[in-house]
């Protein structure tokens, strides 16, 4: 662990990624304490300060009803990160189990499971999520469900390809020869060899989940107002371009910053853990 | 050629299975809808009589398997039902809006390949040096924001602050072009109106760039990664030992062998643009499938939702088949002569 | 007699995390025009990097620090601009690599690769002319059906076939110097012996000077006029092949000879142990060509 940290710290880009991620996670956790206007995550109205550009009072300006954009961005990070964590905590294990079973067991199980994965992968990811949300009510929970539904097959495919090549390795054959139970071989022997790739993918995917989730709320299919969300903030502000540019630009940059951080960190992890691109 | 044909048939076979799966998935999504589809179709003020009638009409009173059967039969007949939103057949709606989306996606795809591959080649050729670092940071930035953020930023910079490009739409209203293919860049040429053609291109630039940016980043990163691996191969050293120019070595010796593994992923990225087009179209008021899609989703217009998703999945499959065939073709150009030689 | 290649006090260091690691500690080596010289040593002794310095490849690597004089045909390569060096490669000097099949570009036909090489010398040469010339060269390395080989891709040919192709390609521009880095080590023994004999005849006919790099003294004996033995970045013994084999003067040479079977054998010879005698001063056999 300390070795991994040292390697990440020795590369300026990975280090920047780690610091960015820590900064954003801290901002999300401590939002109620560090936000200049901690009540602005609700339907507060303060017309006296409505639609104002960046100033000493409101670093990133205010929205149409006078809420502080900076405070709302901090709260929106809570939603984005929370959603990302929930989605990955469900999607990664589900996909891993499917991929592991298909890759290690082979035969019948392999054909059925991987065809199923193919089906999910043959609808563009965003469109699948949009379709699921289209028939459910647009809420945070349903957005999580929609994104999870489109996400697990990617883990299945990743783990499947590793498990399939590991199946032929000597240590697996040896375990089979001594009669180890199938579940033991799959989860105790094969799975650990998939972990570096899974961890790297989860880091990179935090960024992608943030992109997809904000895309859904940009289309009005995700988190509903007054809860602050980066995607819906951009959408709302886009109607008042170019005059009230701060309403879109700052939430947009907030997405960029967070995803960039996770990507830098993920790239660094890939090197540390020796995962192929 | 026979092996390309064999791959085509195999690929089509898998595609049929996948399409059946997709139809089941779409059908399932449509049936997990909370509440009675008939009621949603009719709105809150419908009478019980109307509900019974529409239930029969939508086959909702039959077992689920039979319902799926009707759905498939209708789709095969090219009947995707009627949209509750526009009151027209869904196929008519799609035929109207799909070409605008495809035109946008195809142009973005050209940008993705046209800029992504050269950037990747540049980075790989100077791996470990400053052009590599610059390309790495830039491409990581472009993949780090959703396309709607790029769309907003590009619009602000190049349509408002520097009014170089139009803010929205596909064509200036001063032009009146007869619709033939639905692709305005093609239709304007068919009409022989070159000014309108340039105007259509002019309108395409910002949306296409916004849509392509993350794809450019992904293509460049992938090309670089594959090429850096190829640069360690002995035939690169041999090419250096024979004094070929570094630019020639990059293109002919390092890039060409790494192209084939890159193509599959580039095809996937290209197809993913079909989804991201929804976002870009929203920003630039591009009259494509997205506005329709979002509108029908917000209205819970089941037939239209299912039809739209089905068409997009179909387009996605076709793109993937084309990419697979391209790879097979590139491979066979090599393998073909094998049989002649040995 | 003026040498075609004259290396004096060649030093090479690599810049690493902990300063510069020196790999070559001052090498002197000379090859006369048309002379066949072998450079023999274990892997890691510095023989391959020497070849890459002669080609001017290592001078362009950022981590490498090269000093000393490398004179080729009267001009100092190490002080030449990179472009000038690149001009010599593939025309005045060329190289043959260890693994023929993976050293040829898998996406080009043999004919196309020949054309690429020939156009280094004559950029305007037509493809037909290239093919005609390539066929002649392939016939010289005893390839029976040149037309078929020219239209084939490297992976469609056997390793031995590719080896001959590479020899023909290396000589097609009539270079003055051929560098052969462990040629054919990746091939099986009988094929290797055959291709070496072929190469021997060919360079003799063309009057090409050769620097033959090998870890295998047995192979070298058949091929070279003169031998340099290199150990840990230093030349430890030099002399005409005959004299050196009859009367090896340096402890390391003797160890190397006793470790290697006299027949053309494959596989790495392992010098059994490291002895302080290996660091003894250089032995030079007089009466040699240089």
What is the DSSP annotation of A106-146? -HHHHHHHHHHHHHHHTS-HHHHHHHHHHHS--SHHHHHHH
B210, B235, C134, C137 from C143: Cα distances, Å:
57, 22, 11, 9
Q: Which residue would you say has higher pLDDT here, B109 or C283?
A: B109
Select the residue of C91, C109, C153 nearest B243 (Cβ to Cβ).
Answer: C91
pLDDT in tens, C42-81: 888 888 899 989 988 888 777 888 889 899 988 888 888 8
Residue contact A259–B155, C-beta within 8 A: no
CATH (domain of A134): 1.10.3720.10
* Radius of gyration in angstroms for the set of CA atoms belonging to chain C, rounded to a whole number: 19
- Please answer whether residues A87 and A144 qualify as being in contact, where contact means their C-beta atoms are separated by less than 8 angstroms: yes
Integer Cα distance of B246 and B244 in angstroms: 6
| Measured torsion, CA atoms of residues C243, C245, C249, C251, in degrees rounded to the nearest 10 | 170
Mutation target among B41, B128, B148, B296 for the A interface, most CBs of A within 10 A: B148
A88, A220, B294, C288 from A137: Cα distances, Å:
22, 11, 14, 92
Residue contact A219–B312, C-beta within 8 A: no
Select the residue of C106, C148, C156 nearest B257 (Cβ to Cβ).
Answer: C106
Does pLDDT of B58 surpass 70? yes
Touching subunits for chain C (3+ Cβ pairs under 8 A) = B
Asked if B40 is an interface residue toward chain A (Cβ–Cβ < 8 A), one would say no
Select the residue of A124, A248, A260 nearest B271 (Cβ to Cβ).
Answer: A124
Asked if A215 is an interface residue toward chain B (Cβ–Cβ < 8 A), one would say yes
Closest CA to B178 of B195, B166, B196: B196
pLDDT in tens, B325-340: 888 777 766 554 443 3
Domain that holds residue A74: 2-34+67-273
10-residue stretch averages of pLDDT, chain C, 290 residues long = 85 81 90 92 86 86 86 87 87 89 88 92 91 92 90 89 91 92 79 84 91 86 90 90 88 80 48 70 66
- Please answer whether residues C228 and C276 qualify as being in contact, where contact means their C-beta atoms are separated by less than 8 angstroms: no
Q: Which whole number is the average pLDDT over B135-142?
A: 93
In a domain, A76, yes or no: yes
Integer Cα distance of B37 and B20 in angstroms: 23
- Mean pLDDT, all residues of chain B: 84
- Please answer whether residues C50 and C10 qualify as being in contact, where contact means their C-beta atoms are separated by less than 8 angstroms: yes
**In the block, which residue shows the tokens 């033991």?**
A184
Out of A59-68, A72-81, B168-177, B226-235, pick the least confident.
B168-177
Sign of the Cα torsion C274, C275, C281, C284 reads negative
Closest CA to A260 of B143, B268, C188: B143
pLDDT of residue B342: 32
Superfamily of domain B91-298: MetI-like (1.10.3720.10)
Q: ω into residue A226 within 30 of 0, thus cis? A: yes
Residue contact C90–B337, C-beta within 8 A: no
Q: At what angle do helices B2-31 and A125-135 cross, to 10 degrees?
A: 20
B57, B66, B205, C87 from B53: Cα distances, Å:
6, 18, 49, 86
Residue contact C97–B234, C-beta within 8 A: yes
pLDDT of residue B333: 61
Touching subunits for chain B (3+ Cβ pairs under 8 A) = A, C
Per-residue pLDDT of chain A in tens (277 residues, 90 and over written 9): 677 777 777 778 888 999 999 999 999 999 899 888 888 888 888 888 888 888 888 889 888 888 999 999 999 999 999 999 999 999 999 999 999 989 888 888 888 898 888 888 877 778 888 888 877 878 888 888 888 988 999 999 889 988 888 877 778 888 888 877 888 888 888 888 888 889 888 988 999 999 998 999 898 888 888 888 999 999 988 888 888 899 999 999 999 999 999 999 988 888 777 776 5
Integer Cα distance of C148 and C146 in angstroms: 5
Fold for the domain defined by C5-284? Rossmann fold (3.40.50)
Residue ranges covered by each domain of chain B? 1-85+303-342, 91-298
As for how many domains chain A has, the answer is: 1
Q: Which residue would you say has higher pLDDT here, B90 or C16?
A: B90
In a domain, A22, yes or no: yes
Rounded to the nearest angstrom, the minimum Cα separation between B128 and chain C is 10
Does pLDDT of B115 surpass 90? yes
Residue contact A241–B156, C-beta within 8 A: yes
In a domain, A261, yes or no: yes
Q: Which whole number is the average pLDDT over B204-226?
A: 93
Burial (CB count within 10 angstroms: exposed 0-12, middle 13-18, buried 19+), residue C217: buried
SS3 B193: coil
pLDDT of residue B340: 35
- Residue B178 confidence class, pLDDT cut points 50, 70, 90: confident
Select the residue of B241, B257, B341 nearest C148 (Cβ to Cβ).
Answer: B341
Pairing of strands C19-31, C64-72: unpaired
Asked if B261 is an interface residue toward chain C (Cβ–Cβ < 8 A), one would say no
In sequence order, the 6+-apart residues with CB closer than 8 A to the CB of B89 are: B79, B80, B81, B82, B83
Integer Cα distance of B21 and A95 in angstroms: 18
- Residue B34 confidence class, pLDDT cut points 50, 70, 90: low
Closest CA to B93 of B300, B291, B329, B239: B291
- Residue B117 confidence class, pLDDT cut points 50, 70, 90: very high
Backbone phi and psi for residue C250, each to the nearest 5 degrees, phi listed first? -100, 145
- Please answer whether residues A222 and A237 qualify as being in contact, where contact means their C-beta atoms are separated by less than 8 angstroms: no
Rounded to the nearest angstrom, the minimum Cα separation between B10 and chain C is 26
Q: Which whole number is the average pLDDT over B122-146?
A: 92
Residues of B in contact with A277 (CB under 8 A): 221-222, 225
Q: How many helices and strands, by DSSP H and E, does chain A display?
A: 12, 0
Residue of B nearest to C173 (CA): B242
pTM: 0.84
pLDDT of residue B120: 94
Rounded to the nearest angstrom, the minimum Cα separation between C255 and chain B is 32
pLDDT of residue A89: 94
| Interface residues on C facing B, Cβ-Cβ cutoff 8 A | 55, 57, 62, 86-91, 94-95, 97-99, 102-109, 116-117, 120, 148, 151-153, 156, 179
């Amino acid at each position: 662990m300390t070795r991994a940290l040292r390697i990440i710290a020795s590369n300026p880009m990975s280090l920047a990624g780690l610091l960015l991620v820590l900064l954003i996670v801290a901002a999300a956790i401590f939002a109620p304490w560090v936000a200049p206007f901690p009540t602005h995550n609700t339907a507060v109205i303060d017309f006296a300060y409505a639609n104002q550009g960046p100033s000493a009072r409101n670093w990133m300006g205010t929205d149409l009803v006078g809420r502080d954009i900076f405070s709302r961005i901090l709260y929106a990070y809570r939603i984005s990160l929370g959603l990302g964590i929930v989605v990955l905590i469900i999607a990664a294990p589900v996909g891993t189990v499917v991929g592991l079973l298909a890759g290690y067991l082979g035969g019948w199980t392999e054909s059925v499971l991987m065809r199923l994965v193919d089906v999910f992968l043959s609808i563009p990811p965003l469109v699948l999520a949009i379709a699921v949300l289209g028939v459910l009510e647009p809420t945070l929970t349903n957005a999580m469900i929609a994104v999870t539904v489109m996400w697990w097959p990617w883990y299945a495919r990743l783990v499947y390809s590793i498990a399939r090549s590991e199946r032929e390795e000597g240590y697996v054959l040896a375990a089979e020869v001594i009669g180890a139970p199938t579940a033991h071989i799959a989860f105790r022997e094969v799975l650990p060899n998939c972990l570096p790739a899974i961890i790297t993918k989860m880091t990179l995917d935090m960024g992608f989940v943030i992109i997809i989730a904000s895309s859904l709320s940009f289309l009005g299919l995700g988190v509903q107002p007054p809860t602050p969300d980066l995607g819906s903030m951009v959408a709302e502000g886009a109607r008042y371009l170019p005059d009230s540019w701060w309403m879109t630009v700052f939430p947009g940059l907030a997405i960029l910053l967070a995803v960039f951080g996770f990507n830098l960190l993920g790239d660094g992890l890939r090197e540390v853990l020796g995962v192929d691109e | 050629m026979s092996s390309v044909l064999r791959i085509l048939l195999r690929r089509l076979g898998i595609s049929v299975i996948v399409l059946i799966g997709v139809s089941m998935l779409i059908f399932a999504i449509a049936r997990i809808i909370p509440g009675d589809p008939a009621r949603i179709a009719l709105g809150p003020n419908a009478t019980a009589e109307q509900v019974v009638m529409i239930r029969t009409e939508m086959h909702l009173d039959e077992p689920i398997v039979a319902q799926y059967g009707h759905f498939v039969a209708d789709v095969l007949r090219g009947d995707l039902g009627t949209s509750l939103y526009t009151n027209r057949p869904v196929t008519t709606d799609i035929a109207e809006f799909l070409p605008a989306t495809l035109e946008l996606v195809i142009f973005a795809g050209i940008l993705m390949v046209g800029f992504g591959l050269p950037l990747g080649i540049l980075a790989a050729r100077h791996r470990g040096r400053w052009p590599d670092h610059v390309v790495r940071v830039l491409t990581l930035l472009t993949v780090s924001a959703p396309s709607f953020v790029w769309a907003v930023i590009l619009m602000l910079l190049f349509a408002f602050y520097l009014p170089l490009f139009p803010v929205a739409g596909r064509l200036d209203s001063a032009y009146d072009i007869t619709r033939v293919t639905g692709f305005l860049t093609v239709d304007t040429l068919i009409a022989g109106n070159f000014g309108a053609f340039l105007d259509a291109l002019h309108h395409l630039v910002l949306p296409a760039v916004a849509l392509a940016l993350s794809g450019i980043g992904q293509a460049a990163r992938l090309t670089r990664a594959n090429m850096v691996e190829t640069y360690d191969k002995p035939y690169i050293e041999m090419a250096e030992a024979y004094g070929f120019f570094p630019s020639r070595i990059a293109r002919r010796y390092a890039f060409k062998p790494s192209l084939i593994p890159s193509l599959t992923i580039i095809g996937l990225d290209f197809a993913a643009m079909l989804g991201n087009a929804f976002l870009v179209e929203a920003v630039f008021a591009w009259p494509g499938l997205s506005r329709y899609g979002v509108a029908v989703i917000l209205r819970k217009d089941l037939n239209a939702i299912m039809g739209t998703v089905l068409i997009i999945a179909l387009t996605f499959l076709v793109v993937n088949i084309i990419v697979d065939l391209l790879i097979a073709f590139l491979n066979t150009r090599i393998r073909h002569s094998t049989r002649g030689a040995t | 007699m003026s040498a075609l290649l004259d290396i004096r006090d060649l030093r090479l260091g690599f810049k690493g995390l902990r300063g510069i690691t020196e790999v070559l500690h001052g090498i002197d080596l000379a090859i006369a025009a048309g002379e066949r010289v072998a450079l023999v040593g274990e892997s890691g002794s510095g023989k391959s990097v020497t070849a890459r310095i002669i080609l001017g490849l290592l001078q362009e690597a950022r981590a490498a620090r090269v000093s000393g004089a490398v004179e080729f045909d009267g001009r100092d390569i190490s002080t030449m601009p990179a472009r000038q060096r690149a001009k010599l490669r593939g025309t005045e000097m060329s190289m043959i690599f260890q693994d023929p099949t993976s050293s040829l570009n898998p996406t080009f036909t043999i004919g196309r690769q020949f054309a690429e090489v020939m156009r280094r010398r004559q950029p305007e040469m037509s493809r037909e002319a290239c093919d005609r010339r390539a066929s002649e060269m392939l016939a010289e390395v005893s390839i029976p059906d040149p037309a078929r080989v020219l239209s084939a891709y490297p992976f469609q040919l056997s390793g031995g076939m590719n080896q001959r192709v590479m020899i023909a390609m290396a000589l097609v521009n009539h270079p003055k110097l051929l560098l052969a880095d462990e040629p054919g080590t990746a091939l099986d023994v009988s094929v290797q012996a055959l291709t070496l004999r072929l190469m021997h005849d060919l360079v003799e006919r063309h009057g090409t000077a050769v620097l033959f790099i090998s870890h295998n003294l047995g192979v070298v004996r058949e091929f070279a006029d003169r031998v340099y033995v290199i150990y840990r970045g230093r030349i430890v013994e030099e002399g005409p092949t005959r004299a050196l084999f009859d009367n090896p003067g340096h402890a390391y040479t003797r160890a190397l000879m006793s470790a290697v079977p006299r027949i053309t054998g494959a596989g790495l010879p392992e010098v059994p142990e490291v002895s302080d005698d290996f660091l003894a001063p250089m032995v030079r056999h007089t009466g040699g060509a240089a």
